[in-house]
Amino acid sequence: METAASSTSSRCRYSYEEYKETADWLLAQTEQRPKVAIICGSGLGGLADLLGDKQVFKYEEIPHFPTSTVPGHAGQLVFGTLQGRECVCMQGRFHFYEGYDIHTVTYPVRVFSLLGVETVIVTNAAGGLNGSYNVGDVMLIKDHINMPGFAGQNPLSGHNDNRFGDRFPCMSDAYDRKLMALAKQTAEEQGCGSFLQEGVYCMLAGPSYETIAECRLLQMLGADAVGMSTVPEVVVARHCGLRVLGLSLITNKVVTDYDSPEKANHEEVLETTQRRTQDLQRLVSHLVTKI
């Protein structure tokens, strides 16, 4: 017999009505109806600065919205236009390591779906596992490895609301191939082709950086870059039927040698994103016009 406690634990934290309340509040506050949402990773919030006709909403002002606590994440939702196309940007995302559960981490994605968004561009800062990658490269995510998912931390666990999507969504096409082709074409046109890579992103929960043994294991598994975000949002986006493009900025090379004096640190991540920000902004803003 199911107890009240087991019933609660098997239920998603948020109801459809709560997601809709957030979306309806935003729709009432702005006349913009974006079809593209951009989730900005660590230090990449400058993408939102490109928007024209901006309307900015602090996360704490938005009903049911979580708040971001990480340096490099401004914590605001920005509506506006990129090259004439209406977009919404998350300047700051949510992470496991902030203490949020998986449903809170992914809350904005279902809100985007109810706003009428059709395409999500996810960006992140990541460590390079692939030995051929250089610091400052941009990796198009062609696939991912969901390590928290292996441990049962999947944002689709619990009750499934068919108004969002099917119980068992396919993930073999998580990253839209047509969008990837558009991104490659745009990168060549904007002079970004020389530092554009394509590979597999692996998510760990963080906040500690990876050990040497863990990095070697991830390389054996076929991962090209590693980070602490993105995958839960992608899973929920695909569950909602949204198209996804993923971009990882390689901010550091992971340490795989026990004799190496190198150490991963968040300051290095933010410094690298500052150096590559203009290139990424140019790539994304021109890409949006083609979607």
Q: What is the CATH number of the domain that holds 144?
A: 3.40.50.1580
Q: Would strands 85-91 and 36-40 be described as parallel, antiparallel, or unpaired? A: parallel
pTM of the full predicted structure? 0.90
Answer whether residue 281 is part of any domain. Answer: yes
Nearest CA to 248 out of 145, 98, 156 is that of 145
Q: Do the domain assignments include residue 7? A: no
pLDDT at 70: 63
Confidence label for 12 from pLDDT (cuts 50, 70 and 90) = low
Question: How confident is the model over 233-245, as pLDDT tens digits?
Answer: 999 999 999 999 9
Distance (Å, rounded) from C-alpha 72 to C-alpha 233? 19
**Which residue type occupies 130?**
N
Number of domains in the chain: 1
The predicted model gives 199-219 an average pLDDT of: 95
Q: Residue type at 275?
A: R
Please indicate, yes or no, if residue 198 is contained in any of the structural domains. yes
Q: How far apart are CA 240 and CA 222, in angstroms?
A: 28
Please report whether residue 259 resides in a domain.
yes
Residue 4 lies in a domain: no
Q: 41 falls in which pLDDT band (50, 70, 90)? A: confident
Where does the pLDDT of residue 215 fall: very low under 50, low under 70, confident under 90, or very high at 90 and above? Answer: very high
pLDDT of residue 49: 83
Residue 277 has a pLDDT of 78
Which range is least confidently modeled, 96-100, 124-128, 259-263?
259-263
Cis peptide before 207 (omega within 30 of 0): yes
User: Residue 152's domain spans which residues?
Assistant: 14-288
In a domain, residue 132? The reply is: yes
pLDDT band at 2 (very low <50, low <70, confident <90, very high): very low
Residue 6 maps to a domain: no
Q: Burial, 111: exposed, middle or buried (Cβ in 10 Å; 0-12, 13-18, 19+)?
A: buried
Q: Give the pLDDT confidence score for residue 43 in this predicted structure.
A: 63
**Which residues are designated catalytic?**
42, 73, 95, 97-98, 125, 228-229, 252, 266
Kindly tell me if the per-residue pLDDT of 4 is higher than 60. no
The type of residue at 204 is L
